[in-house]
């Protein structure tokens, strides 16, 4: 998992020869007043409409402590674990469904091969076609549940890594965060969907994947 993040980081660099400016929470911040994006301009995070303007250090400290709070109170883990168990249930039931559809197809094909004159062949063919279609749909579901399952596990894993890294940094100073910028940025992007905040900082909502 860790290797994946490292590879992605280098790939991102290769993909963008004219490296765009990177900063913490890029593309994730939204203003709760105007609902527009908040970007880092000079050393302040500001929204397009100008209703929110926060110093870089204040915002980073604030959001990191909010995330750590959510991690320590297990808020994120609980919601992700809930999702994970729901997906696992769906995955298992789809796998069972696939097995039984497979069996049914085999039975019908067997009937078809037997050439029994009392059997309505057209109807039998239709049944086989229907079952095959349903089998394909189940296979697609299994694939997508599997993918979600993998992503959620990956997120949970990254949250642990983030926590460990933050303990290692062990300082309130934002310069220390900057030293670990690449690692932190990649980890954050894997489990944070959105951060909504306003100028008074009385409304900071971190939405996790």
User: Which residues of this chain interact with Zn ion, rule CB under 5 A?
Assistant: 31, 33-34, 47, 49, 51-52
Nearer to Zn ion, 106 or 205 (CB): 205
Residue of minimal CB distance from Zn ion?
31
Nearest approach in angstroms of CB 34 to Zn ion is: 3
CB 24 within 8 A of CB 187: no
CB 76 within 8 A of CB 191: yes
Nearest approach in angstroms of CB 24 to Zn ion is: 19
Nearer to Zn ion, 33 or 61 (CB): 33
Nearest approach in angstroms of CB 39 to Zn ion is: 11
Nearest approach in angstroms of CB 49 to Zn ion is: 4
Nearer to Zn ion, 45 or 177 (CB): 45
CB 56 within 8 A of CB 45: yes
- The residues, any chain, with a CB within 8 Å of residue 188's CB and separated by 6 or more, are 24, 25, 28, 67, 162
Residue 173 CA to residue 60 CA, distance in Å, equals 10
Residue 1 CA to residue 165 CA, distance in Å, equals 15
Nearer to Zn ion, 151 or 199 (CB): 199
């Amino acid at each position: 998992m860790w290797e994946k993040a490292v590879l992605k980081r280098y790939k991102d660099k290769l993909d963008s020869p004219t490296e765009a400016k990177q900063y913490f929470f890029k593309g994730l911040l939204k203003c709760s007043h105007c609902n527009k994006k908040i970007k880092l301009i000079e050393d302040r995070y500001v929204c397009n409409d100008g209703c929110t303007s926060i110093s870089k250090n204040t915002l980073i400290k604030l959001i990191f402590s909010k995330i750590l709070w959510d991690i320590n109170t297990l808020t994120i883990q609980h919601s992700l674990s809930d999702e994970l168990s729901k997906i696992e249930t769906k995955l298992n039931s789809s796998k069972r469904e696939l097995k039984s559809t497979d069996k049914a197809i085999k039975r019908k094909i067997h009937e078809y091969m037997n050439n029994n004159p009392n059997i309505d062949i057209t109807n039998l063919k239709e049944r086989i076609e229907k079952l095959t279609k349903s089998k394909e749909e189940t296979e697609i579901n299994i694939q997508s549940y599997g993918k979600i399952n993998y992503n959620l596990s990956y997120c949970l894993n990254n949250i642990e890594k983030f926590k460990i890294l933050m303990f290692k940094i062990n300082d309130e100073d934002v310069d220390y965060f900057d030293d670990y910028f690449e690692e932190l940025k990649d980890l954050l992007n894997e489990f944070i969907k959105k951060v909504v905040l306003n100028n008074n900082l009385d409304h900071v909502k971190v939405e996790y994947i």
